Amino acid sequence: MNWNGSEKSFELFKNYVLQTYPTPGQYFVRGKGAYLYDEKDVEYLDFASGISVCNLGHAHPAIAKAVADQAATLVHISNLYLNDVTPRLAEKLISKCFDGAVFFANSGAEANEGLIKFARKFGNATGRNHIISMDNSFHGRTLATLAATGRAKYRKGFEPDMPGFSQVPYNDIEALKGAITDQTCAILLEPVQGEGGILPADPGYLKQVRQLCDEKNLLLLFDEVQCGMGRIGTLYAWQSFGVEPDAFSMAKALANGLPMGAFVVKRKYANILLPGEHASTFGGTPLVSAAALAVQEVFEKEDILANVNSQGEYLMRQLGKIISQYKFCKAVRGKGLMLGVVLDRPAGALSAAILKHKLITLTAGETVLRLLPPLNITRAEADLALERIAAGLADYAKTIEE
Ligand SMILES: *Cc1c(COP(=O)(O)O)cnc(C)c1O
């Protein structure tokens, strides 16, 4: 491989890549488990996991092998023909879920687009096609998922908004009841809001939403793109709340870094979308399906969900102790290994201070420091992260007036 090095790469990026992202602060050349390495081989502990994508860490040997073997066998044939891998993946995903059927896509936004089309097809049969989603939600950057997203700043400049969407405050059952009209066909929400600030739904609220949907013949749709796939301690996020949606989406971690999205609908709704009514050229190729199947096998072999719960509880408890000395830290919240430290001010500078100690973190909803470590981190890695967070907090505290 002929490496450019970071300087040249930044120059090429600036000149030739459409500048829709902030200039990346870091340059990495390889990853291993929970660590990333820059060109000088400086080691960073990665508590972002590529935004909850590489949930089994970087370069997991079982997944690398599955991808390499499949790449050397069959990568893509289109959905006009059947392959040996994708149906096995579908069976595996449904075997851990309620009975239903799955559609494969390539991203979170595309999975949510599918959910939206599913809901409109369902609703239009009875003259309804409006979808209610939540304030502060995030559902993607395509036009329909933007219209569902409850943060106006993402839509600014891209008007007109796609019609048929409205938002209500999250965790507020009365507001939701008040917003339902004879046009409403579905309710869409994240069981734990990710981009909006690591905000879990109240379990009681989700049960009430479920009941409301049953009473009014509305579909309950969950966007599990970030909080699904084991992130909060159950494979599917709805399992943590004991509330079954009628359909839900997933993506990010589904194939541990290969682009894959999907949505599942309950068996009784498996005939809403008919042959020819929805499709995706790259959806569920043998290559990405092999990666996703390997992910599921690792989950079973390495008891990943038990680790999420034990490391998550530990991190939550220890973080609570660390932040208690700082008035600008308000709370630790989240579930499993989807954790947020809530500040009384923007969290970007704290994340940067922690990065100086070689721990990669994210922000969410402006004032929340977001932690999304790989789901297979060890206790030693959790302790190392805590040390680095404590060091970053101490540095940061010196730079501000409380
Ligand atoms: C990331 C995310 C999306 C969008 O996924 P893309 O793969 O970027 O299209 C949608 N919903 C939620 C909850 C997300 O976190």
Q: In whole angstroms, what is the distance from residue 95 CA to residue 104 CA? A: 16
Atom of ligand 1 nearest to the CA of 227: 13
Nearest of 100, 93, 127 to residue 115 by alpha carbon: 100
**Per-residue DSSP letters for 330-359?**
EEEEEETTEEEEEESS-SHHHHHHHHTTTE
Q: In whole angstroms, what is the distance from residue 329 CA to residue 190 CA? A: 25
Q: Which helix (H) or strand (E) holds 294?
A: helix 286-301
246 is annotated as an active-site residue: no
Residues in contact with ligand 1 (CB, 6 Å cut-off): 107-109, 112, 138-140, 190, 194-195, 223, 225-226, 251-252
**Residue among 118, 138, 165, 248 flagged as catalytic:** 138
103 is annotated as an active-site residue: no
Atom of ligand 1 nearest to the CA of 259: 7
**Cis peptide bond N-terminal to 160, omega within 30:** yes
**Per-residue DSSP letters for 221-281?**
EEE-TTTTTTTTSSSSHHHHHT---SEEEE-TTTTBTB--EEEEEEGGGTTSSPTTSS--T
Look-up of token digits 């059947």: 82
Atom of ligand 1 nearest to the CA of 193: 13
Q: In whole angstroms, what is the distance from residue 21 CA to residue 9 CA? A: 15
Q: Find the 261 Cα to ligand 1 centroid distance in Å.
A: 9
Q: Find the 237 Cα to ligand 1 centroid distance in Å.
A: 15
301 is annotated as an active-site residue: no
Per-residue tens of pLDDT for the chain, all 402 residues: 566 789 999 999 999 999 999 888 899 999 999 999 999 999 999 999 999 999 999 999 999 999 999 999 999 999 999 999 999 999 999 999 999 999 999 999 999 999 999 999 999 999 999 999 999 999 999 999 999 999 999 999 999 999 999 999 999 999 999 999 999 999 999 999 999 999 999 999 999 999 999 999 999 999 999 999 999 999 999 999 999 999 999 999 999 999 999 999 999 999 999 999 999 999 999 999 999 999 999 999 999 999 999 999 999 999 999 999 999 999 999 999 999 999 999 999 999 999 999 999 999 999 999 999 999 999 999 999 999 999 999 999 999 975
This prediction's pTM: 0.97
